Amino acid sequence: MEILNYTEEHRIFRDAFRKFLAKEVIPFVDEWEKAGIVSRDVWRKMGEQGYLAMDVPEEYGGLGADFLYSVIVTEELARTRHFGLVAPLHSDVVVPYITAFGSEEIKHQYLPGCVSGEIVTAIAMTEPGTGSDLASIRTTAVEDGDEVVINGQKTFISNGIICDLCVVAAKDPAAPDAHSAIDLYVVEADTPGFVKGKKIEKVGWHSQDTAELFFEDCRVPAANRLGQKGAGFMMLMQKLQQERLVCAIGAQAAAEYVLEMTIDYCKSRTAFGRPISKFQHNRFKIVDMATEIKLGRTFLDKLIADHLEGKSLPVECSMAKAWITEMANRVADGCVQLHGGYGYCEEYPVARYWRDLRVMTIFAGTNEIMRGIAAQFMGL
């Protein structure tokens, strides 16, 4: 029995999106990987076809679609042999902060562009000295009349170069405690004092632009704050569930695709007069990886179903993010081994997945943080 209730409309959507990727994304992946950034045009094309921020209500230019459409987009993007086009970050992590917590003025001002692809978003939480410890951020936001002056530095910001709009976590130094000090502000990229640093050179995710961001007496309207003053930390905690779930979805889909490619390779590659899939060790290895993948899929689909029902899942999503991303790394490593020397060559997609999946155990909260969250809720 299937856990998720995909409708015929969902299936039609998946088929259409897969065709879009085959035409507008996959042929350009190697070019983007060399350039270190994806084309701006592909964001607009995604928006034109209705593939961005699909859950945004119709009154703000969106489709008002359910989360299963986002699941489809994340899964299909994971099969494009790169992770540079991080539409799920934009659609399912950053934009929901604006949809859920923005004023009517902010929503009408920015959401239509987020849907159309004219506005690409980023979220700036991580700082050089804080990592996953959000309560210890140092970037400040000091009120000055109708404006807020932001000063500080962020790092490892995905879409940091290409973004037009950034949700920035900053704290009021006059607040009584660390948690109530944090606020989220929407900052346009061309705001004076908002400076984008150079693109960070990474081991993987070569076509995904990651950057340092600097805020030097950056003045934004106080009305650009999301939600009530001092509620930033709680808003972050509320939305991190979906961020970690999206991370697990991408890792799960990538693991499935890597094993699929590897099985095809093992059936066609011969050694000692027979396909290498016929050697007992290789067969058992493939079966073990397939078993882990099926376990991950069952757990993940149940979480997606619960998330669709609006359930709070801090422990389960933390567990899923940690276990599935590590499982995907185990699968990629095993698949490289089965490819032999070819698995270490750039011309074989398994090599790219092997290096790109590694970071998934680090971002969206390290897996050590995930285990800490789960342990805390378990009373350990």
Compute how many other C-beta atoms are within 10 angstroms of the C-beta atom of residue 325. Answer: 28
Q: How far apart are CA 349 and CA 86, in angstroms?
A: 18
Q: How far apart are CA 44 and CA 34, in angstroms?
A: 21
Catalytic residue list contains 260? no
Q: How far apart are CA 260 and CA 59, in angstroms?
A: 41
Residue in 33, 127, 212, 243 annotated catalytic: 243
Report the first-to-last Cα separation within the chain, whole angstroms.
35
Strand 121-124 and strand 165-171: the pairing is parallel
State the alpha helices, DSSP H only, in 8-57. Answer: 8-24, 29-35, 40-48
Compute how many other C-beta atoms are within 10 angstroms of the C-beta atom of residue 28. Answer: 20
DSSP 233-290: HHHHHHHHHHHHHHHHHHHHHHHHHHHHHHHHHHHH-EETTEEGGGSHHHHHHHHHHH
Nearest to 155 by CA among 134, 120, 184, 128: 128
Nearest to 249 by CA among 209, 193, 308: 308
Nearest to 126 by CA among 316, 313, 327, 369: 369
Structure tokens at 24: 């507008």
Structure tokens at 332: 């990629």
Compute how many other C-beta atoms are within 10 angstroms of the C-beta atom of residue 63. Answer: 16
Q: How far apart are CA 207 and CA 309, in angstroms?
A: 35
Q: Which residues have a Cβ under 8 Å from the Cβ of 263 and sit 6 or more positions away?
A: 277, 286
Q: Is the dihedral of CA 47, 50, 52, 57 positive or negative?
A: positive
Contact 335, 343 (CB under 8 A): yes
Bridge partner residues of 153 (DSSP): 214
Helix (H, G, I), strand (E, B) or coil at 183: strand
* Residue count (the chain): 380
Q: How far apart are CA 146 and CA 299, in angstroms?
A: 48
- Return the active site residues: 243
